[in-house]
Amino acid sequence: MVTMLEVRDVSTIACCAPLIREPLTQSNAEQLAQTLKALADPARLRLLSIVAASPDQEACVCDLIEPMGLSQPTVSHHLKVLTAAGFLARSKRGAWAYYRLVPAALDRVTQTLISA
Amino acid sequence: MVTMLEVRDVSTIACCAPLIREPLTQSNAEQLAQTLKALADPARLRLLSIVAASPDQEACVCDLIEPMGLSQPTVSHHLKVLTAAGFLARSKRGAWAYYRLVPAALDRVTQTLISA
């Protein structure tokens, strides 16, 4: 079976040393703000947590619509934003798209926000 | 000297178990999204990092305007958002307002986003 995997290079996400250590540059602040904006939405946070709690931290889009209680296009839009930000990797298998958590993307955010 | 300290109860911030452990409820997702929105702005991230990198993790608003290159009302607006979200505590001393980092607020966010 051919799998097309769409995954963003997480090294470009949330770039920087912990923000409590040294003032962020404007460029790093813009990059981190963009990454946080992808997370700062209730539907996207719920989607991310549902995918993360699934076996192998992966879920078919077909299994995400009912628990979200949203239309398929809306769910797909939020999944696209999370994939573009690097938090999910998308693969196509047959008719369906599957989304897998990219833990390293969350790690880069938490490393930047860590307080100690 | 009388100090008025304005600080939010951080226990109400970013409420929950790590989102990778179990699906977030709608209510918890809304709360976390609101907290992340307060962070997801380049100016607010830079302000937070400048305050955090200051001695005692505290800075006078009078010392934040020049490094930000923004007007005083704009800087004050962003500081108000960060204070309302619990990331900064505000105290008034004489004519000036001082802002201090609340590390526990960042900790609660990172504990929720942690990937392992």
pLDDT in tens, A15-24: 667 888 888 9
Phi–psi pair at A13, nearest 5 degrees: -95, 140
The confidence score (pLDDT) of residue A1 equals 47
- Grouping H, G, I as helix, E, B as strand and the rest as coil, residue A91 is strand
The confidence score (pLDDT) of residue B1 equals 47
The confidence score (pLDDT) of residue B13 equals 58
ipTM above 0.85, yes or no: yes
Say yes or no for a CB contact (<8 Å) between B45 and A53: no
Residue A103 with chain B: CB contacts under 8 Å:
20, 115-116
The confidence score (pLDDT) of residue B68 equals 94
Beta pairing partners, A101: A88
Question: Whose structure tokens read 């105290």?
Answer: B91
Mean per-residue pLDDT over chain A, rounded: 89
Helix (H) or strand (E) holding A101: strand A96-101
Mean per-residue pLDDT over chain B, rounded: 89
Question: What does the alpha-carbon distance between residue A42 and residue B36 come to, in Å, rounded to a whole number?
Answer: 10
Please report which residue ranges of A20-102 form alpha helices under DSSP H.
26-39, 42-52, 65-68, 72-84
pLDDT in tens, A32-42: 999 999 999 99
Say yes or no for a CB contact (<8 Å) between B19 and A101: no
Say yes or no for a CB contact (<8 Å) between A23 and B50: yes
Phi–psi pair at B36, nearest 5 degrees: -70, -35
CB pairs under 8 A between A and B: 123
The CATH code of the domain at A4-113 is 1.10.10.10
Question: What does the alpha-carbon distance between residue B8 and residue B83 come to, in Å, rounded to a whole number?
Answer: 7
Give the gap in angstroms from C-alpha B74 to the nearest C-alpha of chain A: 16
- For residues B69 and A5, which has the higher predicted lDDT (pLDDT)? B69
Smallest Cβ–Cβ distance between B19 and the set A36, A45, A116 belongs to A45
pLDDT in tens, B26-53: 999 999 999 999 999 999 999 999 999 9
User: Is-contact A49 B22, C-beta < 8 A?
Assistant: yes
Does the domain at B25-113 match CATH 1.10.10.10? Answer given as yes
The confidence score (pLDDT) of residue B21 equals 84
Q: What is the mean pLDDT of residues B75-89?
A: 97
Interface of B with A (CB under 8 A): 19-24, 26, 29-30, 32-33, 36-37, 39-46, 48-50, 52-53, 57, 67, 101, 103-104, 106-107, 109-110, 113-116
Question: What does the alpha-carbon distance between residue A58 and residue A66 come to, in Å, rounded to a whole number?
Answer: 16
- Of B99, B74, B102, the C-alpha closest to B86 is B102
Pick the residue from chain A with its C-alpha nearest to B69: A26
Say yes or no for a CB contact (<8 Å) between B20 and A106: yes
User: Is-contact A113 A15, C-beta < 8 A?
Assistant: no
Pick the residue from chain B with its C-alpha nearest to A111: B110
